[in-house]
Amino acid sequence: AQSVTQLDSHVSVSEGTPVLLRCNYSSSYSPSLFWYVQHPNKGLQLLLKYTSAATLVKGINGFEAEFKKSETSFHLTKPSAHMSDAAEYFCVVSDPGGGADGLTFGKGTHLIIQP
Amino acid sequence: NAGVTQTPKFQVLKTGQSMTLQCAQDMNHNSMYWYRQDPGMGLRLIYYSASEGTTDKGEVPNGYNVSRLNKREFSLRLESAAPSQTSVYFCASTPGREVGYGYTFGSGTRLTVV
């Protein structure tokens, strides 16, 4: 069985400061991992994905995430927050032994950007 | 624009009414999905269609039915709406069910059942 834990339900940072959104996972297999972003009243947009290639993954809008197998973590970072980054972020794990669709979603982290 | 299109964007139903949520994708994807999103719950899978002609239950199928009309379209039907079905519904598609594909999501349908 697989699971995803997003360690913070809300994160607040000032514009121009670094962003860290934490995600831990458990999986019986070699999983694929994703981060999605959801802006208010919008659908989910893929930020980046890890699929067993390079452990440091770069995504859109300056975000990146590092897969650390020993820590079972896939934290999302950005060096400098922008007001447009304010949104809900979901960490997702995918492996063959997962649910019906192979996906398990975290409960989300709401990112607030202070001016 | 290529992607997943959902209609309607908003809907208010009375308890007991029925309705169908429509979803269409133009990316030639094989697999399509319906999720519901509730506060603090993430996304939960209602039904999915691995390929044209097949449908299967997900985590929370009760009270819903689906139809994979063709490769492009995957509809979700509520036969007798209940307040517990108030939610935001997302349709998604992916090239196949192999691990590692990213999912493309529609912009959602906000449904309120009163």
Distance CA(A79)–CA(A63), nearest Å, equals 8
The pLDDT, as a whole number, for residue A96 is 60
The pLDDT, as a whole number, for residue A29 is 74
Task: Check pLDDT > 90 for residue A101.
Answer: no
Banded model confidence at residue B99, pLDDT cuts 50, 70, 90: low
The pLDDT, as a whole number, for residue B36 is 95
Q: Are A95 and B43 in contact (CB < 8 Å)? A: no
User: Which residues on chain B are in Cβ contact (under 8 Å) with A108?
Assistant: 40, 42
The pLDDT, as a whole number, for residue B75 is 97
Q: Which of B77, B62, B89, B69 is nearest to B17 (CA)?
A: B77
Task: Check pLDDT > 90 for residue B68.
Answer: yes
Q: Which residue of B has its CA nearest to A52?
A: B100
Task: Check pLDDT > 70 for residue A53.
Answer: yes
A 1-30 residues inside an 8 A Cβ radius of B? 9
Distance CA(B37)–CA(B24), nearest Å, equals 19
Length of chain A: 115
Q: How many CB pairs under 8 A join A and B?
A: 63
Q: Are A44 and B103 in contact (CB < 8 Å)? A: yes
Out of B16-20, B45-49, B73-77, pick the least confident: B45-49
Q: What is the mean pLDDT of residues B76-80?
A: 96
Q: What is the mean pLDDT of residues A9-28?
A: 94
User: Which residues on chain A are in Cβ contact (under 8 Å) with B42?
Assistant: 90, 105-108
Distance CA(B114)–CA(B112), nearest Å, equals 6
Distance CA(B28)–CA(A70), nearest Å, equals 38
Q: What is the mean pLDDT of residues B88-110?
A: 84
Q: Which of A85, A101, A14 is nearest to A45 (CA)?
A: A85
> What is the residue-averaged pLDDT of chain B?
91
Banded model confidence at residue B97, pLDDT cuts 50, 70, 90: low
Residue spans of beta strands (DSSP E) within A56-107: 56-58, 64-68, 73-78, 87-94, 103-105
Q: Are A99 and B106 in contact (CB < 8 Å)? A: no
The pLDDT, as a whole number, for residue B91 is 95
Banded model confidence at residue B93, pLDDT cuts 50, 70, 90: very high
Distance, C-alpha A80 to centroid of its chain? 17
Nearest-CB residue to A101 (from B45, B90, B104) = B45
Q: Which residues of A74-85 are buried (b: 16+ CB within 10 A; e: fewer)?
A: bbbebeebeeeb
